[in-house]
């Protein structure tokens, strides 16, 4: 039996045998904006796809990005829920970057300040 992927009801991913994360990750296929640094409005923001999110971090796909950021780089991400009535600008630190087979990079980031379960659910 397959589960529906309705926008309002994301399902947590099942951890694999090799999974080391403690927090539940929620898969999503939304888009976001991000930029390195403090998140200044007068600087260029990049379009990023979000593949999953948890209280402690987020996975982004940046297809237009050509450069690689070292681990620890500060990255500001703008998040919005499906309904568009809740948004947050959050700072993250790059944990890893992997080349995306379709171009650009897949980037794993940790939130500088972890989300509460309530904040996470409001953004889902």
Q: Which domains does the chain have, with CATH numbers?
A: 26-38+46-118 (2.40.10.220)
- Residue 98: pLDDT above 90? yes
Contact 89, 58 (CB under 8 A): no
Specify the pLDDT at position 68.
Answer: 84
Q: Would the pTM of this model clear 0.85, i.e. be above it?
A: no
Chain mean pLDDT for the chain? 84
Burial class (CB in 10 A: 0-12, 13-18, 19+), 92: buried
């Amino acid at each position: 039996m397959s589960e529906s992927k309705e926008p309002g009801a994301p399902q947590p991913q099942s951890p694999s045998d090799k999974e080391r994360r403690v927090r539940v990750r929620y898969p999503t296929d939304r888009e976001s904006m991000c930029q390195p640094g403090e998140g200044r409005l007068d600087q260029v923001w990049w379009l990023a796809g979000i593949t999953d999110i948890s209280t402690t971090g987020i996975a982004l796909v940046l297809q237009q990005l050509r450069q690689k950021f070292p681990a620890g780089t500060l990255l500001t991400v703008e998040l919005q829920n499906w309904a568009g009535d809740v948004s947050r600008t959050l700072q993250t630190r790059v944990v890893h970057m992997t080349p995306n087979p379709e171009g650009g990079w897949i980037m794993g980031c940790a939130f500088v300040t972890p989300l509460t379960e309530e904040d996470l659910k409001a953004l889902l």
